[in-house]
Amino acid sequence: MKRPSRTALLLSIACAGLTAAELPLIPRPAKVAEQSGDFLLRAGATVGLENFAGSGLILQLLNDSSKLGLTAAPAGAKADITFVLKTPDSGESEEAYRLEITGTGVRLTGGPAGLYYGAQSLAQILSGAKATGTGATLDRIVISDAPRFAWRGYMLDESRHFSGETAVKRLLDAMARYKLNRFHWHLTDSSGWRIEIRKYPKLTSVGARGDETHISDKLPAQFYTQERIRDIIAYAKARHITVIPEIDMPGHADAAVKAYPENDGGGFFHKGERDKWPRFTFNPAKPGTLAFLDDILDEVAGLFPDAGVIHFGGDEVNFGWGKWPELPEVRELMKRENLKDNTAVETWFNRRMAAKINALGFHTGGWDEIVGRGLPTDKTVVFWWRHDKERIVRAALDSGAKVVLCPRRPLYFDFIQDKSHKSGRVWGGFNPLADVYDFPAGLKLTPAQESHVLGLQACLWTEQMITQERRDFMTWPRLVAAAESGWTPAARKDYAGFETRLKAELPVLRARGINTYDPFANSPEVIEKRKARVTENLDNPE
């Protein structure tokens, strides 16, 4: 027999690399080195965990996925799976980890977040491992992993339709599995105010009744008490997810203004929908309204001490500012501050509220309408959503602002995901899984621009999502693709490999009670019969 040629040898080494790369892990790790041999993790093996944030959950996580009845090793004893807490090296991400499976055991190294993500990776390996009578056989391997982006988010709109605690906790668990780390909570909008504010009880007793489908004062109020909010924040924190509150202003304000009409700044002027949201804005200039918003922000800051960012919306104000020039307080402000038009009033309002948020010790988050308004770039996070206005994201990045990329295409999950789908948005196209996966390659960011990108975020706007079944259908599996886009280095992304891994992952989602769409079988669309329609471009042309 001929000796294998050098090329054949190199090829087989490359193939071994490929096998390693096909580990059933989502998101795909930054670096994987496979070694020959394996390790038998016995049933009842021990786990050595130091006490670090989230450690309590790790044993449970490993047991849920392995069914091996792993037990905690006594302090100081040698364990089969060892977690080693270390301070990240300088320049290294706090989320980085190393996972080694050697001939004698499993060893994970990292900071608290890194160890948690290492445990998530190990849990995925364990659930895919060959189980024998006595345990699970694990291939020897070394994974060195760290995220591409620090912000890997998902936004849920609970105003238009309320999801509630059970669905939110289930979502947080699934997000954690895919190493997503920001939950942007859209808690207020015209259809309902969903967060208890103690100083203004009517915000919820009046403002939380009804939703986008049922505009009614008779329905029970749907909202989170402050106690519930604290509990959900803690639940997220244990999973290394930061919850970012959004209190939308000065637009999208109907629910709040319905409760406290003295803050009315007038309504919606758009394509015949003028009567639907007659109190779309807060009065942007009235001292009492500014004090009211300050009080709300004070309570929000107290409730979300670790959020880092309070998002104040700032979107689509021009949809409802038609009455502003008639408001006495606006007229007075314009004269006093020499403001020439509504845009200038909006800018004044933005600066005023951003200063308040900054004074509370938070960055101001805002939709991309805030670009060019002179907010301090070092204390502001821009959420770029208008995919058709690339110049805005470039302007924001070039100004040095921190940016979260969440363009409607491909990251708004109220867009349909398959051309056969009948319910949801389209806009010169829609948002299939592959587009979510490829993002942000199409933006062709320069390295300097990418250095200002905090990360990316998918958003679920729920105007057309009444049931959880449909919200799940629109979210999944696209959120899995977004998670890999946020975590995996560009050079390691591979859509075909992702599809293979995702196929095996869909049953995992289903087992958690998540009604994911199956793009491989084109599973039946979940349609809200009352509102089934494909809607083209609802937004302002500006």
- The catalytic residues are 189, 252, 316
Using rule CB under 6 A, residue 487 touches ligand TNX: no
Query: Could you say which of 277, 413, 437, 461 contacts ligand TNX (CB under 6 A)?
Result: 461
Question: Given the DSSP bridges, would you call strands 402-405 and 380-384 parallel, antiparallel or unpaired?
Answer: parallel
SS3 129: coil
In the numeric block, which tokens belong to residue 129?
């491992």
Give 52's Cβ-side CA count (13 Å radius): 20
Given a contact cutoff of 8 angstroms between Cβ atoms, the answer to whether 181 and 114 are in contact is no
The C-alpha atoms of residue 471 and residue 424 are separated, in whole angstroms, by 11
Pick from 109, 105, 186, 175: which is nearest to 138 by CA?
105
Pick from 85, 532, 90, 452: which is nearest to 98 by CA?
85
CB of 368 to ligand TNX, least distance (A): 8
Query: Could you say which of 348, 362, 385, 498 contacts ligand TNX (CB under 6 A)?
Result: 385
Tally: H helices and E strands in the chain? 17, 20
- Surface-to-core class of residue 263, CB atoms within 10 Å of its CB (0-12 exposed, 13-18 middle, 19+ buried): buried
Q: Which 316-355 residues touch ligand TNX, going by CB under 6 A?
A: 316
CB of 292 to ligand TNX, least distance (A): 22
Pick from 221, 141, 218, 152: which is nearest to 184 by CA?
152
| DSSP line for 171-237 | HHHHHHHTT--EEEEE-EETTEE-B--TT-THHHHTTTB--SS---SSSPB--B-HHHHHHHHHHHH
Which residue type occupies 467? Answer: T
Q: Per-residue x/- marks for ligand TNX, 411-440, CB under 6 A?
A: -x-x----------x---------------
CB of 475 to ligand TNX, least distance (A): 14
Question: What element of type H or E holds 100?
Answer: strand 97-101
The C-alpha atoms of residue 451 and residue 218 are separated, in whole angstroms, by 50
Using rule CB under 6 A, residue 277 touches ligand TNX: no
Using rule CB under 6 A, residue 254 touches ligand TNX: no
CB of 484 to ligand TNX, least distance (A): 23
Q: Would you say 127 or 159 has its CB closer to ligand TNX? A: 159
Q: Would you say 157 or 525 has its CB closer to ligand TNX? A: 157
Q: How big is the CA angle at 155 (ends 53 and 122), to the nearest 5 degrees?
A: 40
CB of 121 to ligand TNX, least distance (A): 33
Q: Would you say 211 or 463 has its CB closer to ligand TNX? A: 463
In the numeric block, which tokens belong to residue 333?
């402000």
Using rule CB under 6 A, residue 185 touches ligand TNX: no
CB of 383 to ligand TNX, least distance (A): 7
Q: Would you say 149 or 385 has its CB closer to ligand TNX? A: 385
Other CB atoms within 10 A of residue 353 CB: 26
The phi and psi torsions of 172 (rounded to 5 degrees) equal: -60, -40
CB of 369 to ligand TNX, least distance (A): 8
Q: Would you say 412 or 430 has its CB closer to ligand TNX? A: 412
Q: Would you say 191 or 283 has its CB closer to ligand TNX? A: 191
The contacts of residue 127 (CB under 8 Å, 6+ apart) are: 65, 66, 508
In the numeric block, which tokens belong to residue 160?
């238009």
Q: Which 494-513 residues touch ligand TNX, going by CB under 6 A?
A: none
Using rule CB under 6 A, residue 367 touches ligand TNX: yes
In the block, which residue shows the tokens 């689509």?
Answer: 316
Q: Would you say 276 or 512 has its CB closer to ligand TNX? A: 276
Size of site (CB under 6 A) for ligand TNX = 10
Q: Would you say 254 or 463 has its CB closer to ligand TNX? A: 463
* Helices 112-128, 165-177: crossing angle, 10 deg rounding: 90
CB of 389 to ligand TNX, least distance (A): 12
CB of 539 to ligand TNX, least distance (A): 6
Q: Would you say 107 or 184 has its CB closer to ligand TNX? A: 184
Q: Per-residue x/- marks for ligand TNX, 279-318, CB under 6 A?
A: ------------------------------------xx--
The C-alpha atoms of residue 470 and residue 317 are separated, in whole angstroms, by 29
Site of interaction with ligand TNX (CB under 6 A): 315-316, 367, 385, 412, 414, 425, 461, 463, 539
